[in-house]
Structure 1
Amino acid sequence: MKNEKYVIESFLFVSGGPLLIDQVKGVLDHLDPHAIRNLFNELKTEYEDNGRGIKIVEIAGGFQMVTNPDFSDYLKKYYKRKHVERLSRPALETLAIIAYKQPITRLDIESIRGVNTDGVTRNLSDKGLIRIVGRKDISGRPFVYGTTKQFLEYFGLSSLGELPKMEEFSNLLTRNDKKKNSSNNEKTNDSSEVKDTDTSSPQNKATSDALGG
């Protein structure tokens, strides 16, 4: 196989956190750890030499794609515009779980929500609302997530102690869903669209129960 380096690049793109050499070896088992590290470094150099908007850095024992700090001023302007955008129901649910249960692993988040959260977790991380805060001291030592200072700023909080009670947050999600359903009903009779925001769905109910609703 001649494209191992770009296979690793694809792993980096979809990984929700630092990608470990052992994780790569679990798939590309014909490569030894030294060869895998060399491929990581080749990719790292490629990105740096081409002045791309993405860099590859070594962090928390693995490698991860991050934004190039040279473009931080543009990113700040971008996020300032994105700041006013409403978070989706899945994003709010996932963020609530992390906020109230942190530090928490992605597996634990998915156990509560009942669905895969890779994309949502990546989105929240890209928005700077959550970050990896360490590893859980269990088999495999998975990453654990927590909220950020930007999370507090986003919701106008000075500390996590100002978070509403879990029951209040769960009720807020339910009220928002009812408003969204009402709006959808006025715009379309498509039952599938209404179903997407149905608070009686197993995933929404599981999250509500976990948050005390």
Structure 2
Amino acid sequence: MRPPSLHPAAFPSVQRHPLSISTDSPSAAGWNWQQRLFRRELAAEAVAAETVLSQVRTPRHARVEAALFVAEGPLALRKLTQLATLADVREARRLIEELNEMYDAGGSAFRIERVATGYKMYTLPQFAWWLDQLHHRQSALKLSPPAMETLTIVAFRQPVIRADIEQIRGVQCTEMLKLLMDRGLVRIGGEDTSLGRPYLYETTRLFLELFGLRSLDDLPMADELRRRPEQPVEETEEDQESAGDEAAAGETDADGPAAEDETAESTAADSGGSADRAAA
């Protein structure tokens, strides 16, 4: 006896759900795969959300954030630890990292960066246009092209004397150096050992802070542009010995005629003295 058909058409009273897909259809495997992938994405988002929620903003985070927000310049970790009453500098560094993670996860406009010898709170570069429109600020970074060119030479060639700067630019740089020193971007770092002992110019810590640099090694293409001119090749011991032999030979040749003249004069003097004694 043939078993009854189990096809849905045999049960007209049973209505299929409009979104149901038959497991016999070719797209069933693809549908199941999409469902599994969607579940995985939801699970990953849930884990990320739990991670963000687990980093609850504590009073310590708030103290660090407030200290960096009102500080006029970068704060060293030790100073920040004292202001925020933290355990040690390691805790301060950890709190800064957690704050940056919170900023990134929440789409904040702020970020804490290390600059010069401390940490400072900055706004992201994409918000610079709106900040300029709001405050109409006259930053120390707004320099004329000649001043910026002079500052670039000092930054990459420091310590450098004024004559070398003028040789690179092709014009006098006295006024530009004075302007940069008045802005606090350049200072006199010492004196050169060359003739006249000219001043050596170098950048200041304010330069690093304004440009957001930890050190001069963070300058773009620092390895290539800050490379010093190659020093002359030192002579080897063999070259020095050969040069010494040549110099000694030259001295012998130069002293030869003079020595012969001195010998002849002394011989003549001895002969004259013997003749005088004989006449006496």
* TM-score (norm: length of structure 2): 0.30
* TM-score (norm: length of structure 1): 0.39
Structure of larger gyration radius:
2
